[in-house]
Amino acid sequence: MSIGTSDDRSPDGDVFHPTPDLVARANVPVWEAEAGHARQDLTGYWAKRAQELEWYHPWDQVLDESNKPFYKWFVGGKVNIVHNCLDRYTKTWRRNKLALIWEGEAGDHRTFSYHALNREVCKFASVLKALGTVKGDRVTIYLPRIPELIIAMLACAKIGAIHSVVYGGFSVEALHGRIMDSHSKLAITADGGWLNGKIVRLKDMMDEALQRSPTVEHVIVVKRTAQEVTMEPERDLWYHDLMSLPIASPKCETEVMDAEDPLYILYTSGTTGKPKAVLHTHGGYMVGIYATLRDAFDLKEDDRWWCTADPGWVTGHSYLVYGPLLNGATSFFYEGAATYPYPNRWWQMIERYGINIFYTAPTAIRGLMRFGEAWPNRHDLTSLRLLGSVGEPINPEAWKWYHRVIGKGRAPIIDTWWQTETGMFLITPTPVVPLKPGSATRPYFGVTADILNEEGQSVADGEEGYLVITSPWPAMLRTIYGDADRYVKQYWSKYPGKYLTGDSAKRDKDGYYWVIGRVDDVIKVSGYRLGTAEIESALVSHPAVAEAAAIGLPHEVKGTAIHTFVILRTGHNPSDALKEELRAHVGHEVGPIAKPEEITFVDKLPKTRSGKIMRRVLKARAQGLSEGDITTLED
Ligand code: WT7
């Protein structure tokens, strides 16, 4: 069986038409009508969607474009996203409904009704306040996939603190950099987390990171694995101790926020240098993720929704934590690995919990396909109504397997294109849109996209170009935290007034978008976003390395894998042992996900006369392709 990632997507290939039952029950039954409304009256459209949620005080202006590209949404509006996720349900029947179902890797499980979740969030918010956390403070969260991660995020948002979640798979150095950049006063971690039957020692890594992070005054530690950890007196506090003290009051007022007040920052890899903090707000972000999840996934309050993403990435923030609660759904959340202890773990949980909508990444599908159909076929998956995909283009083989074997030929695949920066889906079908495997179909309601050539003109259908977004949307990033220049430069300068996505794409005659991939120095490894600069600077921080270049090359399961080229310092000789050492070094500096697939020792790297490494040339050579225009090559 082939699971290949070769780009054999074809606009003239199979088309999957929506089934009448799904059309009949869809939240948005007629796509054209909704799209037309949004096209004719963008601000009116978003005002209507915002009114579906509760505001403490209505906005005076839907969209303020007076200081582009620093757009503002719902100006003058007073709101708190947590009010709409939890507070507003406490007086309705929904307080008794399950908000969260969680399963640990070892098979332990916990459930929270909306009432119970709200109570935990209130208690923890009171604790945060008692420790001196106030509106606008940054809080770094470095936790495994356990309910306390969600509770901590919501508690921060409730009191107006800005959460900065760091993915538990990132290393000490990455964690340290993010704590320093955000000037966090408080950090939240756990003694450890379970993954593949092993303990990830998060507290030890936090301790190491904090040796050089003077801003952090307190560390709250959740007990998950009960292994021995060192607790620094005064600084470190156990979560369960704090939650049993009188300071953990279940009565805690939700902070009234301006719509434009920051909700969170989230670090993501860019074209150059260190990862940058993307900033999202309470008002517009809330409206955007609420509406997109409701429309694209036809989410209903009686649905059980499962998004497999880690909350440490934007997919987790938007569509695991906030989106399902805004829609009053029940969200399922799993701690561990997809194949632990056997490759049927996910399918078993879909059956056990009766999941209706399942949202995952192409790399996970390809990984699980390798184990064969017998594993999913052992389970009753008929509860599934819709399937979703995100993170990279999905290749047709994986699309069709997912549709046939998991979706039993009935559940459509909602392929959602978006980014950390966009906050919400921007190109996505809904259940009433005909699907073409490998295309995220058309821009969402109110979203206008284009594909441009180098000169800024729209390219003809079928031609490749830069994917841009030409009108603002409510969940858009507002800036890069602490680096507004960078925000303007990176996203709004190549084509003034248009948002540059960093992806290339084609559009077909039906107006469907086919995203090809990143055209900047960002690599998507197993759907995770990494920058060549991070990997290269990790390599050159090793004493044996003089220079390094990283590129992404196609990989059957990962989509793209990291290949690196290294020039050694004199006195160091190439060896397999050194390769292993360098891989481990990158793992330590960035995180296990950044370990290069391949390290090649070279004497020279192709460079421009101004000294810039020509990764494009390395990539072409590695794939045996034409090197293209190399007139700027140094020699
Ligand atoms: C990049 C953004 C969006 C949440 C997870 C990733 C790629 C994402 C798709 C898709 C083709 C996709 C793009 C984009 N990407 N979804 N459905 N089809 N490509 O967020 O880590 O910020 O990465 O992921 O290249 O630019 P992110």
Per-residue pLDDT tens over the stretch 528-583: 999 999 999 999 999 999 999 999 999 999 999 999 999 999 999 999 999 999 99
3-state secondary structure of 267: strand
- One DSSP character per residue, 322-370 reads IHHHHTT-EEEEE-S-TTSSSTTHHHHHHHHHT-SEEEE-HHHHHHHHT
Per-residue pLDDT tens over the stretch 288-344: 999 999 999 999 999 999 999 999 999 999 999 999 999 999 999 999 999 999 999
383-394: average pLDDT: 97
Q: Which atom of ligand 1 is nearest to the CA of 440?
A: 17
Alpha-carbon distance of 557 to 617, in angstroms, equals: 24
What is the pLDDT, as a whole number, of residue 612? 86
- One DSSP character per residue, 535-557 reads HHHHHHTSTTEEEEEEEEEEETT
Rg of the chain, C-alpha, whole Å = 24
What is the pLDDT, as a whole number, of residue 576? 97
**Residue 5 pLDDT > 80:** no
Alpha-carbon distance of 229 to 204, in angstroms, equals: 7
Beta bridge partners of 466: 452, 504
Alpha-carbon distance of 129 to 133, in angstroms, equals: 5
Both structure tokens of 414? 């909602």
Beta bridge partners of 109: 103
**Residue 411 pLDDT > 70:** yes
Per-residue pLDDT tens over the stretch 58-104: 999 999 999 999 999 999 999 999 999 999 999 999 999 999 999 99
- Assess contact for 189 and 206: CB atoms under 8 A: yes
Instruction: Among 308, 419, 466, say which to mutate for ligand 1: greatest number of ligand atoms within 8 Å of CB.
Output: 419
Instruction: Among 289, 319, 390, 500, say which to mutate for ligand 1: greatest number of ligand atoms within 8 Å of CB.
Output: 390
Ligand 1 centre and the CA of 524: distance in Å? Answer: 8
**Going along 367-480, which residue ranges are E strands?**
386-389, 413-415, 449-452, 465-469, 479-480
What is the pLDDT, as a whole number, of residue 1? 46
Percent residues over pLDDT 90 in the chain:
92
What is the pLDDT, as a whole number, of residue 611? 85
Per-residue pLDDT tens over the stretch 476-524: 999 999 999 999 999 999 999 999 999 999 999 999 999 999 998 899 9
3-state secondary structure of 598: strand
455-466: average pLDDT: 97
Alpha-carbon distance of 565 to 582, in angstroms, equals: 11
Residues with CB under 6 A from ligand 1: 268, 314-315, 390-393, 415-420, 440, 501-503, 515, 517-518, 524, 529
Number of residues in the chain: 635
Ligand 1 centre and the CA of 589: distance in Å? Answer: 24
Per-residue pLDDT tens over the stretch 176-228: 999 999 999 999 999 999 999 999 999 999 999 999 988 999 999 999 999 99
3-state secondary structure of 235: coil
Sorting pLDDT into bands at 50, 70 and 90, what band is 10? confident
- Using alpha carbons, select from 453, 440, 445, 454 the residue that is nearest to residue 511: 440
Per-residue pLDDT tens over the stretch 328-357: 999 999 999 999 999 999 999 999 999 999
Indicate the pTM of the whole model.
0.96
Specify the residue with its C-alpha closest to ligand 1, atom 12.
Answer: 392
What is the average pLDDT score of the chain? 95
267-275: average pLDDT: 87
Instruction: Among 271, 392, 480, 522, say which to mutate for ligand 1: greatest number of ligand atoms within 8 Å of CB.
Output: 392
- Assess contact for 75 and 64: CB atoms under 8 A: yes
